[in-house]
Amino acid sequence: MFSKVKSCVLRGIDGTEIVVEADISDGLPTFTMVGYLSSSVKEASERVRTALKNSGFTFPPKRITVNLSPADIKKDGAGFDLPIALAILLSSGLSPEVSLDETLVLGELGLNGDLKPIPGVLPMVFRAAENGIRSCIVPKENVEEAALVKGLSVIGAATLNEAVDYISGALKIKPVQNLCDRLYESPQEQKIDFSDIHGQETLKRGMEIAAAGFHNVLMTGAAGAGKSMLAKRLPTIMPRLSVEESIEVTKIYSTLGLLSERGALVTERPFRSPHHTVSSFALVGGGVNPRPGEVSLAHNGVLFLDELPEFGKNALEVLRQPIEDRKVTISRVNASYIFPADFMLVCAMNPCPCGHFPDRKRCRCTPVMIKKYQSRVSGPLLDRIDINMEVKPVKSDDIFAEGNGERSEIIRARVEDARMIQKRRYENDGIFFNSQLEGNLIKKYIRLDPEEEALLKQVFTEKELSARGTHRILKLSRTIADLSGSERIKREHLMEAIFYRNNGLSYEEVI
């Protein structure tokens, strides 16, 4: 007898619907699975056979054929265990009147019949919902994640038996639906706050500007001055993720099975801080079955590269394209995958190998050593950084002072205001932030009065700016003006932008 169950496979960060077909017929007892299977799927036969036995079913001693269609898509992952088991049970006549045509089934089986969570449930359920499926059976641990998708009732089962009993009607399981809004609204506890940082006023201001306009940041300063501490707190002043953004981010985390760490819905902006030994593939994504890398995990959030010069040259250079395109395209023979990668780049570095320059009392590095160390960061990468800041070593007064800095929520309120201004301004242009302005849009939206224009021209000639450098200053001054609620870019906004953009790295004056 023939039966079929709907399931899904993950390709990149999107699901593709798969139909699991089973047929049981007379003949010598065999169990064959076909359909372009990877070894993790082939091994499902043993898991399914044992799980069925241990759940009290008899594995029919007949000729069993299982096919995963369409046959031209490579099937990967352990999520097919449950659909295969159910398809076999259905075709062996479990309950003839039941049809699973409108239900998506996902789940990995343990040998004792327990259902285990699998990665990528959200994108797979998402795809199924798009294809018109209205219910799904998933492992209990994946229920919340699956229920983020609107208009779909989710059944969570802990064991194979539960799933079977639910299908045959012997067990009632309450479907879970539309969790998205509830999870989004649930308050998030902030463990870290901007007021933890004492002093560093200009640095904090720079961070505020960066958060408001999504500008890339580089902090240079001695070891232990608070660079990482500040970077970690950056997400707390960035505007909250919108629901759509949250889902986008959650999809990526779901794909990599990282959701258990962060709760079913990612509502806080991601903060990724890969170690400097990271390979270029781990950074942008890759692999035989391409998986998103750190840049995609930092989507809509912060990618923090601590100790920037220590990163491999390759790793840094592959960053250039995602910074410009805000996505990563990975091509394979059979398909090409697009991973979103719209992140804010925040980098930190020491000024010299010993980390104490310009404090010449402690730093014994020669000018050549310093230059060599700083030149490990390539010019093109530096050119893409809008805000360059010096981090001063903390003084003892600052460390022991009572926390009197502004709290994150206050800064965030200002940032949100600036963001709303930008959102309204760029409504019809498909961009969200000042930092994303390009070419014609710069001309369209950034206008300087004659006095300010003269100032910029003077800086242009004095500092030998490039065209790109000038544009960066313009975009930055737009953000600063937005933060102060001013429609016009005033003289002081421009000066502040010039102060923060100043990307001359070299300390030793060039003679």
Partner 1 sequence: MKEIMYEKDLMALWFDSQDEIDYKNKAKLMDNLGSLEACFYAEKEALNNLLADSTAVKVISDWIKKRDRAYLEDRYGTLRDMGVSITYPERGDYPRKLLTVPSPPFLLYMRGTFRQSLNDVGCTIGMVGSRTPDTYGREIASYFAKELAGDGINIVSGLASGVDGISHRSALSAGGYTVGVLGCGINVVYPHSNIRLYEDMAVHGCIISEYGPDLVPQSWRFPARNRIISGLSDGVLCVQAKKRSGSLITTNFALEQNRQVYAVPARAFDLNYEGTNNLIKSGAFCATSPEDIINDLREMRGESLMYGEKKKRRKQSAPKKEVTAEEKKILSCLNLEPCYIDDVIAQTGYGITQTISSLYVMEEKGLVKQVKRGWYIVADFTRGVTYR
Per CB under 8 A, the segment of 14-22, 40-48, 308-316, 364-372 that binds partner 1 is 364-372
- Beta carbon of residue 507, minimum distance to partner 1 (angstroms, whole number): 5
- Judged by CB under 8 A, the residue of 323, 389, 418, 465 near partner 1 is 389
- Judged by CB under 8 A, the residue of 201, 409, 427, 451 near partner 1 is 201
- Judged by CB under 8 A, the residue of 205, 232, 276, 332 near partner 1 is 205
Residue 289, both tokens: 């079955």
- Beta carbon of residue 495, minimum distance to partner 1 (angstroms, whole number): 4
User: Torsion over CA of 380, 386, 392 and 393, rounded to 10 degrees?
Assistant: -60
Distance CA 291, CA 287 (A): 6
Please list the alpha-helical segments (H only) found in 219-292.
227-237, 243-255, 259-262, 280-284
Q: Does residue 358 belong to the site contacting partner 1 (CB under 8 A)? A: yes
- Judged by CB under 8 A, the residue of 242, 331, 336, 484 near partner 1 is 484
Phi, psi (deg, nearest 5) at residue 463 = -95, 5
- Judged by CB under 8 A, the residue of 91, 92, 200, 255 near partner 1 is 200
Q: Which is nearer to partner 1, 255 or 408 (CB)?
A: 408
Please list the helix, strand and coil fractions of the chain in percent, rounded to the nearest 5, in that order: 40, 20, 40
Largest distance between two CA atoms of the chain: 91
Count of residues of this chain found to bind partner 1 when the rule CB under 8 A is applied: 32
Q: Does residue 392 belong to the site contacting partner 1 (CB under 8 A)? A: yes
Q: Does residue 353 belong to the site contacting partner 1 (CB under 8 A)? A: no
Q: Which is nearer to partner 1, 94 or 495 (CB)?
A: 495
- Beta carbon of residue 176, minimum distance to partner 1 (angstroms, whole number): 49
- Beta carbon of residue 235, minimum distance to partner 1 (angstroms, whole number): 22
Q: Does residue 68 belong to the site contacting partner 1 (CB under 8 A)? A: no
- Beta carbon of residue 202, minimum distance to partner 1 (angstroms, whole number): 5
- Judged by CB under 8 A, the residue of 60, 110, 175, 199 near partner 1 is 199
Instruction: Measure Cα distances from 481 to 70, 202, 441, 490 in Å.
Output: 55, 17, 17, 7
Going by the DSSP 8-state scheme, the letter that residue 310 receives in this structure is G
Q: Does residue 510 belong to the site contacting partner 1 (CB under 8 A)? A: yes
Geometric angle at alpha carbon 238, from 235 and 242, rounded to 5°: 105
Residue 114, both tokens: 């327990």
Distance CA 504, CA 228 (A): 22
Q: Does residue 463 belong to the site contacting partner 1 (CB under 8 A)? A: no
Coil/strand/helix, residue 163:
helix
Geometric angle at alpha carbon 66, from 61 and 69, rounded to 5°: 170
Q: What residues contact residue 242 under an 8 Å CB cut-off, 6+ apart? A: none
**Interface positions, 366-385, toward partner 1 (CB under 8 A):** 367-368, 371
Residue 210, both tokens: 């960066």
Q: Does residue 491 belong to the site contacting partner 1 (CB under 8 A)? A: yes
Binding mask 301-340 for partner 1 (x = CB under 8 A): ----------------------------------------
Q: Does residue 435 belong to the site contacting partner 1 (CB under 8 A)? A: no
- Beta carbon of residue 36, minimum distance to partner 1 (angstroms, whole number): 57
Please list the alpha-helical segments (H only) found in 155-278.
160-168, 180-185, 201-213, 227-237, 243-255, 259-262
Residue with tokens 């043993």: 46
Q: Which is nearer to partner 1, 109 or 448 (CB)?
A: 448
Sheet holding 30-34, edge to edge: 30-34, 63-69, 14-25, 2-11, 103-105, 135-139, 153-157
Going by the DSSP 8-state scheme, the letter that residue 298 receives in this structure is T
- Judged by CB under 8 A, the residue of 22, 129, 136, 480 near partner 1 is 480
Binding site for partner 1 (CB under 8 A): 199-203, 205, 220, 358, 360, 367-368, 371, 388-390, 392, 480, 484, 491-493, 495-496, 498-499, 502, 504, 507-511
